[in-house]
Structure 1
Amino acid sequence: MREDKDLFYLIRGDFLPEAMKKTLAVKEALDRGKASSVYEAVKEVGLSRSAFYKYRDAVFPFRTIQQAKIITLVFHLEDRQGTLSHLLDRIAKHGGNILTIHQSIPINGKANVTVSLDIEHLKVDLNDLIKELKQHECIHQIDVLSSGV
C-alpha cells in the first residue's frame, strides 16, 4: 500500500491554504534572488519560518511539472472551422512539440481534443500558454490530464 507522501495531486490555487500559497511565494523569492535568506523572505510575505519549513518540501508551483517534459491536455472545443488549427498553431509557436492528437466526433457542436505535448522547449510558462489558449472564443475548457515522461 502506498503512503500518502508518495502520492501527488494537482490542486487549483484558490483551494490552497494561505500558508501554502505564502510558502510558494517564499520559495519563488529565494529562487529569483529577491530575498537572500529564508528569514528575509518569510518576513516579506508574512509567514512564520516554522510554517515555511513544514510546507517547503510538500508544495510546488505547477511550472515544476515542466521538468517532466511531456504533458497531456484535454480541450473542450466548439466545432468551428479553424479552431483546432488555431490551437495547434499557438502551441507550436510557443515551442510545444505535439506528439499525439485525438479528436472525438463533434456532438451538438462540441468536440473533445486530447493533445500530448513535449514541452522541453516551451518558450513560455505552461500556465501562460493555457491562459492564452483559453482566451480563444471557441476553446471552452482546458484540463490537464497527465504529466510525466
Structure 2
Amino acid sequence: MAQLPKYYIVEAQALPEVFLKVAEAKWLLETGEVATVNDAARATGISRSAFYKYRDSISPFQNLMAGRILTFQLLLRDMTGLLSSILTIFAQFGANILTINQAIPTNGCASVTISAETSGISQGVEALMRELSQVDGVRKVEVLAG
C-alpha cells in the first residue's frame, strides 16, 4: 500500500500564488460559478495543466476535530465483508456514520462514499485514514469534503 500523504497547515501568504489560484478555481467549480475547468482556469489566470497538477494538493483548512461532518471516499476491492470491516473501524474510532453510498463494482473495485460526524473520534482523522488504508482490499482513502 502506498504511503499516506502528510499534511501541513501553512499560512496562505506563504504559498506560491499558483496554489491560491488553484484553490480559487476549485471553489468556482464547486459553487457552480463556472461550468468547466477551462472556465475556472481562465477566470483565475492559470493554465489548465496547473489546475490539474495541483488540484489534489490544495484544500482550504478546516478544523477536522471540531464537530465536523467529513465525507470520505474509498476505493475498495470487491471482497465479501470488506465494507463491514471498514464500518467497524469507523465505530472503533467513535465516528458516527451518517450516509453510505456504494457504486456497483467494476473491474473488481467499487467506489464507496461515507459521510461521518467526527466530533467524537478518539484519535485524529489522519490516524483513522491510516487504519482504513491498512485493511486488505482498500485501494485508496481520501477526505472529499468537510
Do the two structures share a fold, i.e. TM-score over 0.5? yes
Distance in structure 2 (CA, Å) of the matches to 1:120 and 1:90: 16
Structure showing the higher helix proportion among its residues: 1
Change (3 A) 1:131 1:63: farther
Paired residue for 2:90?
91
Alignment of structure 1 residues 30-109 onto 2, 5 Å = 64-109=63-108
Would the aligned equivalents of 2:133 and 2:139 in 1 still touch at CA under 8 Å?
A: yes
Instruction: Give the letter for the 2:145 counterpart.
Output: S
Paired residue for 2:138?
139
Q: Cα distance, 1:93 vs. partner?
A: 1.1
Q: Does 1:130 align with 2:129?
A: yes
Change (3 A) 1:13 1:91: closer
List gaps (5 residues or longer) in structure 2. 16-60
Distance in structure 1 (CA, Å) of the matches to 2:5 and 2:92: 27
Change (3 A) 1:102 1:13: closer
What SS class does the counterpart of residue 67 from structure 1 fall into? coil
CA RMSD for the aligned pairs? 3.2
Alignment of structure 1 residues 107-118 onto 2, 5 Å = 107-118=106-117
Q: Cα distance, 1:13 vs. partner?
A: 6.0
Change (3 A) 1:63 1:126: farther
Would the aligned equivalents of 2:64 and 2:118 in 1 still touch at CA under 8 Å?
A: no
Would the aligned equivalents of 2:67 and 2:120 in 1 still touch at CA under 8 Å?
A: no
Paired residue for 2:44?
none
Change (3 A) 1:54 1:146: closer
Distance in structure 2 (CA, Å) of the matches to 1:82 and 1:119: 24
Instruction: Give the letter for the 2:128 counterpart.
Output: L
Would the aligned equivalents of 1:63 and 1:125 in 2 still touch at CA under 8 Å?
A: no
Would the aligned equivalents of 1:63 and 1:127 in 2 still touch at CA under 8 Å?
A: no
Would the aligned equivalents of 1:63 and 1:126 in 2 still touch at CA under 8 Å?
A: no
What SS class does the counterpart of residue 87 from structure 1 fall into? helix
Indicate the structure (1 or 2) with the bigger Cα radius of gyration. Answer: 1
Q: TM-score, normalised by structure 1?
A: 0.57
Identity of aligned residues (%): 32
Distance in structure 2 (CA, Å) of the matches to 1:121 and 1:68: 7
